[in-house]
Structure 1
Amino acid sequence: MLNIGFVSLRAQFGFNPEEAGRLYEVSKSILAPLGRVTSYESMIMLKKEAKEANELLKTSQIDLLVMQIGTFPSGELLPLLIKDLAAPVLLWALPEPPFDGGALQFNSLCGVHLMASLLKRDNHKFDYVHLNPEGDVTSLTRYIRAFEVSCDLKKMRVGLVGSHTPGFDAMAVDAVSLKAVIGPEVVYIGLDDVFQGSNNVPQAQRDKLTAEIGSQFDNVNELPGEKIEKFANTYASLEREAKAKNVASLSVRCWPEFIEGHGQAACCSVSKLTDDGIVTGCEGDVLGTITSSIMREFAGSAPFLADIVHADYTTNETTLWHCGAAPFSLVAPGESVLLGEEFGIGGLNVEFPLKSGVVTLARLGYLDGKYRMLVTTGEALKIGPIVKGTVAQVRTDSSVKTLMDKLIYDGWEHHLTMIYTDVAAELEQLCKILNIECVRL
């Protein structure tokens, strides 16, 4: 949870400090559910009060300072208020009440303009919102949620099992710039460690996992027991590595070594790990895995990392597919979740059509030394098992032709993440906080 500092500034003379003060109290109640809020007891008008508030905020070790402009303040308050505070500032302008020929009530928006001009010259990070705390506060809550995710990214550790799949060089990760710009730290995990670990799973854990797998996949009884046991062992080894390395997500080089050296594709383990809370991406796609982790943070549900394998420009539909690593919680109602053997020696991949619903598609990418994110929305349609593997059919809100042109001509990596809710605005806000380009379609 964020540590949020909250203050309101006011003029010494004129305007309507009584109404601004009332809105300050209302605003405290709006912020309370969004983090641990430290607020100065009254609106700040004097230099002495700004100094006192500064000491309070430093003691509280705030992550973010929300600075509401109650009535047009003196710019002299700002340097005293933010002295030795590294926390970014969210300026909050109050809308002016309707004009009726009387005096200006707040002049809050101009006050935000003043503070922004000073913060910019001081190279202090800031953003702003313009809203009434008694009205629609979506832009405020969205900003704070995105800011919280940006803070989580700075603490995130993602495990790279092996490296990216051979030939998928666009998915190679620059660990140094990733840490500096986006935040996550890449932790390297050896493929051999995973393979060897799968040979040393305690029988009790193997039995527990085998029982779980039996309840989660509909055709387990039709497959040889040794295949299910290998599934359980591989899952247990990957999970153990994630916990030992203290990583919240995994990006797995799932072929060729898993198939050729281990004798079983990683798909089934990737599916179950993601459903069990360790977001896992395939083919060593670290940025794709991070995209999935970000979208899970916003949506609170499991993501699907996939290829676009078909586009119909007439119906404006696109088919998202992967060989069988989608989390099984995304299955369409009434459809079976199967373990298949189409990919790799001995399988096992996962097979089912995904459910329908509102979706967001996104991709964190890296090109020419810069990070960027592509974002679009749409609707996953009701389909049956139209192809082996895990598959969704999406009618995008933007033109599918435009989407494909953008992906192909601009050199985006060939995976997209899909999540079942509209988090496009949150992703745009996050890009702004991270200071990376957002390509919104």
Structure 2
Amino acid sequence: MKKQLNVGFITTLSGRWPRELPEKRRKEYGEWLEENLSGVNIIKAKALGDSPKAADEISQQFKAEAVDIIVMVYGAFTGDDISTCLAENLEVPIVLWAPYEPPFDKNDRLYANALVAITMNSASLKKLGYTCYTIYGDKEEATTAAKVINLITAYNVLKKLKGTVLGLFGYRPTAFYNSSFSESLIRRTFGIRMEETDLKVVFDEMDHVSREAYETDMEKVETQYDVSKLPEGHLENHSKLYLALKELMKRQSYDFATIKCWPEMGSLHTTPCAVLGRLADEGMNIGCEGDIDAELAQIVQNYLTGLPTFITDMINIDEEQNVMTFWHCGNAAPSLRNTKHEYTMNNHPLAGQGTAFYGALKEGKVTIARFCNINDSYKLFLLRGTAIDKDRYTKGVMANIKVDTPVRKIVERIMEDGIPHHYSVVWDDVADSMIEVCKLLNIPVIEM
């Protein structure tokens, strides 16, 4: 249920101010929003907001188009009447954006005076108890642009979270207490709804996959990967499970899911690591080992980027190089592989009871995150880094990530704060956007 945010855009001034600059900003800032805010609907006011009457008419337009948040750019000085009218009529957050004053000339007048306007308008809105955000700077300024993009993107994520359906294929593996969760706390905090499908349903669905369908998929897999080391029957089970989960995700209308991937699945020689990787590249993200809180991080990262993420353990540190090794059994999406190194489909590296990818993951900027239920409230563990070019040094899939904070300090903080052992890694720098999402959700951030 991935709804898009409706963003109302209005340019304002008080009626006596010259209109050339406001008209110019209306055109240029409207185009900038359309070009730089992907995945949202920009709804432009039909006219300048230059009077209470105009503000009322624009309010009606925005209400009819179900605007969720307003970006109000100052074309010129604007009294408190416009912003308060919008807030009272629509009761949605307002982003007050004051570009810099045009070049001053001691022999000419002020043409914008936007800094004064944003100061007084924000104070008035806060006095009245309305939510507003202030942006001071031109759209061409990187820090200013990032503030606007991160804020609107965070609101877009929040809208998508509310109504997201998270499927549970089974509960959690044996003795993995950190994969337990509070469904009501998650619903209250994130707006995510959960539904459960028993693993028996998964196994029954596998039995119903036609021979033609699973043999066709087996042939496809054999053309894409070296499967020569798979035990007999494992590839058949892989293709049956791949097709079964794909069907169940659609049938149950799950947006995301987690799965209890052992011990039952291993007992049937169908541990799903490689299946999860393939599905992630098709936009079906299923977190392993039933870890709901790690999956919450994957959901937010996916909503921010549209990319698959890697749910992983952190198994080693190199203090000399300040590198952390993130590894898991073989569940990474093939699109994340480092093409400089071998990437194969093999038997599960630990239990030997299913299919898993073996390989190194690609270089690039990454964001490492996990939502943590600590004392019945959520915190976000957050880490920025750069994945380096390094081959795996044990069976499974691996990313070696260089970070800024001393790695031992990170590990000690993880253990001190009680942060569980799974993390979600996405190949993009979205740390600031995740922080903005957490501000809106009132979730503290542990950034290392």
TM score, norm. by length of structure 1: 0.92
Alignment equivalent of 1:409, drawn from 396, 406, 416: 416
Write the distance in 1 (CA, Å) between the matches of 2:364 and 2:42: 36
Superposed counterparts of 1:158-307, under 5 Å = 158-218=166-226, 220-260=227-267, 262-307=268-313
For the residue of structure 1 that corresponds to 2:353, the secondary structure is coil
Aligned-pair CA distance for 1:222: 4.1
Aligned-pair CA distance for 1:100: 4.2
For the residue of structure 1 that corresponds to 2:84, the secondary structure is helix
Whether the aligned pair in 2 keeps the contact of 1:96 and 1:105 (CA below 8 Å) is yes
Q: Does 1:9 align with 2:16?
A: no
Write the distance in 2 (CA, Å) between the matches of 1:86 and 1:413: 39
The worse-fitting range, judged by mean Cα deviation, of 209-218 and 302-311 is 209-218
State the match for 1:363 in structure 2: 370
Query: 1:84-131 deviations in whole A, cap 9, x for unaligned?
Result: 424322221222234444544323233223333333344433323223
TM score, norm. by length of structure 2: 0.90
Write the distance in 2 (CA, Å) between the matches of 1:111 and 1:435: 29
Whether the aligned pair in 2 keeps the contact of 1:64 and 1:87 (CA below 8 Å) is yes
RMSD (CA atoms):
2.2
Q: What letter matches 2:199 in structure 1? A: L
Distance 1:357 1:76, change over 3 A: closer
Aligned-pair CA distance for 1:52: 0.9
Distance 1:378 1:217, change over 3 A: same
Whether the aligned pair in 2 keeps the contact of 1:343 and 1:349 (CA below 8 Å) is no
State the match for 1:396 in structure 2: 403
Alignment equivalent of 1:153, drawn from 142, 161, 171: 161
Q: Does 1:41 align with 2:49?
A: no
State the match for 1:75 in structure 2: 80
State the match for 2:384 in structure 1: 377
Q: What letter matches 2:206 in structure 1? A: S
Write the distance in 2 (CA, Å) between the matches of 1:225 and 1:423: 42
Whether the aligned pair in 2 keeps the contact of 1:328 and 1:337 (CA below 8 Å) is no
State the match for 1:28 in structure 2: 30
The worse-fitting range, judged by mean Cα deviation, of 301-310 and 369-378 is 369-378
State the match for 1:55 in structure 2: 60
Whether the aligned pair in 1 keeps the contact of 2:308 and 2:333 (CA below 8 Å) is yes
Report percent identity of matched pairs.
25
Write the distance in 1 (CA, Å) between the matches of 2:162 and 2:126: 23
Whether the aligned pair in 1 keeps the contact of 2:5 and 2:68 (CA below 8 Å) is yes
Q: What letter matches 2:191 in structure 1? A: G
Distance 1:122 1:245, change over 3 A: farther
**Number of corresponding residues:** 438
Aligned-pair CA distance for 1:314: 2.5
Distance 1:173 1:128, change over 3 A: farther
Write the distance in 2 (CA, Å) between the matches of 1:312 and 1:178: 35
Aligned-pair CA distance for 1:59: 0.8
Aligned-pair CA distance for 1:162: 1.2
Q: Does 1:326 align with 2:332?
A: yes
Whether the aligned pair in 1 keeps the contact of 2:269 and 2:353 (CA below 8 Å) is yes
State the match for 1:131 in structure 2: 137
Q: What letter matches 1:265 in structure 2? A: T
For the residue of structure 2 that corresponds to 1:20, the secondary structure is helix
Write the distance in 2 (CA, Å) between the matches of 1:268 and 1:424: 28
Superposed counterparts of 1:411-430, under 5 Å = 411-430=418-437
Aligned-pair CA distance for 1:273: 1.6
Whether the aligned pair in 1 keeps the contact of 2:178 and 2:291 (CA below 8 Å) is no
Whether the aligned pair in 2 keeps the contact of 1:308 and 1:320 (CA below 8 Å) is yes
Distance 1:367 1:111, change over 3 A: farther
For the residue of structure 2 that corresponds to 1:205, the secondary structure is helix
Aligned-pair CA distance for 1:428: 2.0
Q: What letter matches 1:424 in structure 2? A: A
Whether the aligned pair in 2 keeps the contact of 1:26 and 1:133 (CA below 8 Å) is no
Aligned-pair CA distance for 1:194: 1.0
Distance 1:168 1:123, change over 3 A: farther
For the residue of structure 2 that corresponds to 1:198, the secondary structure is helix
Q: What letter matches 2:409 in structure 1? A: T
Whether the aligned pair in 2 keeps the contact of 1:26 and 1:134 (CA below 8 Å) is no
Write the distance in 1 (CA, Å) between the matches of 2:139 and 2:388: 38
For the residue of structure 2 that corresponds to 1:402, the secondary structure is helix
For the residue of structure 2 that corresponds to 1:431, the secondary structure is helix
Write the distance in 2 (CA, Å) between the matches of 1:422 and 1:357: 9
Alignment equivalent of 1:141, drawn from 149, 156, 160: 149
Distance 1:173 1:125, change over 3 A: farther
Query: 1:191-230 deviations in whole A, cap 9, x for unaligned?
Result: 1111221111122321222122213321x24434421111
Structure 2, unpaired ranges of 5+: none
Whether the aligned pair in 2 keeps the contact of 1:270 and 1:325 (CA below 8 Å) is yes
Alignment equivalent of 1:65, drawn from 64, 67, 70: 70
Write the distance in 1 (CA, Å) between the matches of 2:72 and 2:191: 26
State the match for 2:90 in structure 1: 85
For the residue of structure 2 that corresponds to 1:199, the secondary structure is helix
